[in-house]
């Protein structure tokens, strides 16, 4: 399915012209906006359970604590508390926290693949 078809479907779902489970039926690809929701998503009763499972995984990933270690001379390992990489991951931008970044990334990867 092309990007524009997905965008059109998202707008129609937002406006209430298509059922919400239609969008998850499109994730399998090849579905057209002209088909009925029954044809597109024969497993519509499973969509809620699938999202519930994906949401639980994404929450666990979003809530994990990050630690950075540096390998020193002689093979010693030291924990680094203050580093630019940690600052970037904990505050990706001025509106997104570490939880938001990891949660949404996991959610998108689990849904879209």
Q: Report the distance separating Cα 99 and Cα 50, nearest Å.
A: 21
Q: Report the distance separating Cα 68 and Cα 39, nearest Å.
A: 49
pLDDT tens, the chain, 113 aa long: 577 777 777 777 667 666 655 555 555 554 444 444 444 556 666 777 788 889 999 999 999 998 999 998 888 999 999 999 988 888 888 888 899 999 999 999 998 87
Task: Specify the pLDDT at position 18.
Answer: 65
Task: Specify the pLDDT at position 80.
Answer: 92
Q: Assess contact for 89 and 99: CB atoms under 8 A.
A: no
């Amino acid at each position: 399915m092309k990007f524009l078809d997905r965008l059109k479907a998202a707008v129609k779902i937002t406006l209430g012209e298509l059922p919400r489970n239609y969008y998850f039926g499109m994730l399998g690809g090849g579905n057209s906006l002209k088909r009925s929701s029954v044809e597109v998503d024969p497993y519509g009763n499973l969509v809620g359970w699938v999202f519930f499972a994906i949401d639980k995984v994404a929450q666990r990933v979003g809530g994990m604590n990050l630690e950075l270690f540096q390998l020193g001379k002689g093979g010693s390992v030291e924990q680094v508390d203050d580093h630019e990489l940690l600052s970037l991951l904990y505050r990706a931008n001025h509106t997104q926290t570490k939880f938001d970044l990891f949660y949404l990334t996991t959610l998108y990867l689990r849904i879209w693949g």
